[in-house]
Amino acid sequence: MTSKRILLICRKAPYGNALARETAEIALAAGAFDQELAIAFIGDGVWQLLDQQDSADIQQKNHQKLLSAFELYGISESYAESAALAERNIDHSRLSLAAKPVNQQQLADLFEQADILLTV
Amino acid sequence: MRFSLMILGAPYSSQSVATALRFTQAAIDAGHSFHRVFFYHDGVNSGNALITPPQDENNIPQQWQSLADKHGIDLVVCIASALKRGVLDKKEAERYEQTNHNLNNGFTISGLGQLVDASIESDRLITFGP
């Protein structure tokens, strides 16, 4: 199997819809198939990164727990859109995943460098 | 160019499914080819053989089948998304001791590996929906 650089773009908030969870499952699958994978959290997707998530009251699985499996699957490259964090007043110190903050130009460069963009 | 698609929208709920069909036809008309359409999230409902649209609406499953048939496109329904939404083939129905199965002809049930494979084998992977 040839290897390509895949950039997975996560745009969805962690709860209210199954998409964030199902996107994370794509990441884990790509990790299991030994693909070079980077993940960019943009727009509402940055909510996924918040630390101390507690989803018990809404009877949903904890999304932060799922993201914490990334490292186990060899996924270490992740980015968070700086503007999206700022718009939502999320300080970088509140993130659970070591996602690197990137500005719009850096995001554009990441899109450019990837062979495949996988957007959810 | 060789395309694959990921469909997230449910048929008859999300416009994205009809748009994906029109995109596929337009790209084929322009000389491009398709490797796979991967149905994920609510998109797996396109594989439900019991879909019975009114006569004055498009038959979405049939449109996928006919495109796939004519142009050799692989139609794959994600197993994890499909099982919990009640789309099962015969094998899965037997495995989970269900009395019925409802995966349409021309669709296959498989894992997320098929999406990863599609991204490797294609020049572009385009998401439609939800």
CA distances from A66 to B31, B49, B118 (A): 41, 33, 24
Tokens of B85: 């939404």
pLDDT at A97: 86
Q: What is the residue range of B83's domain?
A: 2-128
**R_g of chain A computed on alpha carbons:** 14
**The domain spanning residue B34 has which CATH number?**
3.40.1260.10
**Residue ranges, chain B, pLDDT below 50:** none
pLDDT at A5: 92
Domain count, chain B: 1
CB under 8 Å, gap of 24 or more: what pairs does A51-56 form? A51/A94, A51/A95, A51/A96, A52/A96, A53/A14, A53/A96, A55/A15
Superfamily of domain covering A5-119: DsrEFH-like (3.40.1260.10)
- Between vectors from CA A69 to CA B113 and to CA B85, what angle results, nearest 5°? 50
Mean pLDDT across chain A: 93
Cis peptide bond prior to B11, omega within 30° of 0:
no
Q: Is A42 on the interface with B (CB under 8 A)?
A: no
pLDDT at A32: 84
Name the pLDDT band for A35 (thresholds 50, 70, 90).
confident
Look up the ipTM and state it. Answer: 0.88
Name the pLDDT band for A2 (thresholds 50, 70, 90).
low
Look at residue A106 and tell me whether its pLDDT is greater than 60.
Answer: yes
Active site residue B110: no
Helices (H) and strands (E) in chain A, counts: 4, 5
Name the pLDDT band for A1 (thresholds 50, 70, 90).
low
B67–chain A nearest CA distance, Å: 23
Distance CA A2, CA A57 (A): 44
